[in-house]
């Protein structure tokens, strides 16, 4: 759910004491939508009624007698859902777990096999799937300095899931900064994150694996790296019909107070990337979440003291509407973005609390209630993902589906 493991802090940037995941979906669908598949959302008709809010009902999730369920991420492929996380015991011990469902309401715990010394204590932070398998990114703190020990897991659609040995240097080491979100596409799996170059400058890195198992780091692509143009940062990755799209920002060199410029990258294979200019408005802006919308891609992110939306089509990027306002002293950010065929939902932290905003076209937005008030602190997170049901996931193991 967007948890980024920051190596210099030795813990996740967002420790999820309470993790809520809302999964939007459309009526009449037969299974979860692939993350890169187009959604038929179109422009709002004049005078259209407000976007309807989901109504929630509880759904049971298999529990473990010796532990409490923790939920961190959700993914959908045609005909199947995945929920990633694990269990925490009374003494704070953790263990990994992946759950699956074919309808979003009845869930089964998949078996898993850890391989490394840290694997038994992983929590699965991210998950992605395509027709032939499911891959997850797990992590736990360990070692003398308590740094996150990150690894991947892979299995067929119905499991079991097996940890893939990777050693400590693939995702860690003195140049490591953090790993972020994972996406599954036609050329395999891509993880986005950050890495330091030979001069110690932070910039974008990715990890790719055509088979979901043999990830390799790409940390020296000149289009991804920071350079004289500024410091690059990625926040999300998604599959497209022709490859992959990264979204993030570029911070101009020489000043920590300069406004960031929104930026995107495209790739056909996940290894070689090309920068795409995204129109900015002169204020601090960053693309933080992206999803398919119609035949294009919709990105939502920070825009000055609020939030903004951008649309990518064959003609390039254009800015759509803005919404919301930053309040309080917490870190404002977009934590989730999804479509269900008729509406768009974005979840954001405004610096004080989490909010949900809905739109039909990305231009006009309105607030939508979430079931549980959640403060926007480092111990909480709310996010959204798309599929055929609306789901609410909480780290105490409660699961809710919308009517």
> What are the tens digits of pLDDT across the range 102-132?
888 899 999 999 999 999 999 999 999 998 9
Whether 24 has a pLDDT exceeding 60, the answer reads no
Rg over alpha carbons for the chain, rounded to the nearest Å, is 19
Whether 12 has a pLDDT exceeding 50, the answer reads no
Strand partners, 35: none
Give the integer Cα–Cα distance in Å for 177 and 175: 7
Q: Per-residue pLDDT averaged across 314-324, rounded? A: 95
CA 321 to mean position of chain CA atoms:
22
**pLDDT per position as a tens digit, 379-392:** 677 777 776 555 55
5-402 fold: Methylamine Dehydrogenase; Chain H (2.130.10)
pLDDT given at position 6: 53
Give the integer Cα–Cα distance in Å for 291 and 288: 11
Give 27's pLDDT tier (boundaries 50, 70, 90).
Answer: very low
Considering the chain, what percentage of its residues have pLDDT values greater than 90? Answer: 53
pLDDT given at position 91: 86
End-to-end alpha-carbon separation of the chain, Å? Answer: 23
Whether 56 has a pLDDT exceeding 80, the answer reads no
Give 61's pLDDT tier (boundaries 50, 70, 90).
Answer: confident
pLDDT given at position 383: 75
Q: Per-residue pLDDT averaged across 332-347, rounded? A: 87
Q: Per-residue pLDDT averaged across 368-372, rounded? A: 81
pLDDT given at position 183: 97
349 or 72, greater pLDDT: 349
pLDDT given at position 36: 40
pLDDT given at position 155: 97
Give the integer Cα–Cα distance in Å for 393 and 197: 38
Cα distances (angstroms) measured from residue 68 to each of 64, 86, 119 = 7, 8, 18
pLDDT given at position 63: 78
Give 2's pLDDT tier (boundaries 50, 70, 90).
Answer: very low
pLDDT given at position 213: 94
**pLDDT per position as a tens digit, 256-314:** 667 999 999 999 999 999 999 999 999 999 999 999 998 999 999 999 999 999 999 99
Closest by CA position to 287, among listed 237, 345, 341, 230: 237
Give 218's pLDDT tier (boundaries 50, 70, 90).
Answer: very high
pLDDT given at position 130: 93
Q: pTM of the entire structure?
A: 0.87
Closest by CA position to 295, among listed 9, 36, 68: 36
Whether 177 has a pLDDT exceeding 80, the answer reads yes
pLDDT given at position 326: 94
Q: Per-residue pLDDT averaged across 164-179, rounded? A: 90
Q: Per-residue pLDDT averaged across 308-337, rounded? A: 94
Question: Count of alpha carbons within 13 Å of 136, Cβ hemisphere only?
Answer: 37
Closest by CA position to 202, among listed 236, 182, 174: 174
For the chain, helix, strand, coil in percent to 5 are: 0, 55, 45
Cα distances (angstroms) measured from residue 228 to each of 80, 196, 239, 262 = 45, 15, 29, 17
Whether 323 has a pLDDT exceeding 50, the answer reads yes
Cα distances (angstroms) measured from residue 33 to each of 86, 162, 331 = 24, 25, 31
50 or 138, greater pLDDT: 138
401 or 299, greater pLDDT: 299
Average pLDDT, the chain: 83
Give the integer Cα–Cα distance in Å for 183 and 186: 10
């Amino acid at each position: 759910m967007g948890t980024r493991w920051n190596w210099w802090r030795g813990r996740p940037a967002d420790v999820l004491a309470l993790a809520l995941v809302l999964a939007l979906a459309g009526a009449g669908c037969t299974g979860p939508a692939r993350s890169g598949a187009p959604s038929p959302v179109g422009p709002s008709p004049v005078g259209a009624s407000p976007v309807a809010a989901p109504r929630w009902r509880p759904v049971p999730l298999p529990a473990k007698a010796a532990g409490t369920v923790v939920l961190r991420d959700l993914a959908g492929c045609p005909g199947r859902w995945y929920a990633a996380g694990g269990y925490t015991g009374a003494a704070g011990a953790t263990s990994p777990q992946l759950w699956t469902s074919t309808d979003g309401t009845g869930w089964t715990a998949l078996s898993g096999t850890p391989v490394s010394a840290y694997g038994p204590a992983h929590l699965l932070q991210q998950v992605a799937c395509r027709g032939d398998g499911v891959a997850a990114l797990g992590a736990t703190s360990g070692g003398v300095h308590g740094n996150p020990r990150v690894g991947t897991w892979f299995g067929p659609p119905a499991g079991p899931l097996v940890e893939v040995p990777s050693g400590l240097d693939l995702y860690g080491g003195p140049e490591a900064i953090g790993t972020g979100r994972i996406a599954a596409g036609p050329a395999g799996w891509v993880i986005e994150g950050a890495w330091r170059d030979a001069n110690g400058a932070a910039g974008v890195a990715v990890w790719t694996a055509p088979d979901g198992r043999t990830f390799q780091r790409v940390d020296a692509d000149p289009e991804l790296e920071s350079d004289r143009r500024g410091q690059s940062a990625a926040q999300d990755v998604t599959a497209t019909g022709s490859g992959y799209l990264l979204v993030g920002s570029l911070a101009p060199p020489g000043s920590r107070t300069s406004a960031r410029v929104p930026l995107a990258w495209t790739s056909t294979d996940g290894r070689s990337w090309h920068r795409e200019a995204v129109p900015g408005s002169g204020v601090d802006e960053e693309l933080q979440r992206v999803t398919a919308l119609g035949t294009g891609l919709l990105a939502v992110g920070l825009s000055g003291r609020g939030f903004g939306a951008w649309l990518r089509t064959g003609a390039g990027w254009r800015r759509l509407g803005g919404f919301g306002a930053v309040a309080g002293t917490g870190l404002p950010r977009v934590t989730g973005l999804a479509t269900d065929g008729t509406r768009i939902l974005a979840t954001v932290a405004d610096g004080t609390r989490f909010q949900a905003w809905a739109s039909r076209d990305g231009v006009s937005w309105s607030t939508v209630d979430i079931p549980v008030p959640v403060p926007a602190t480092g111990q909480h997170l709310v996010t959204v993902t798309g599929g055929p049901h609306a789901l609410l996931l909480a780290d105490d193991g409660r699961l809710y589906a919308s009517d």
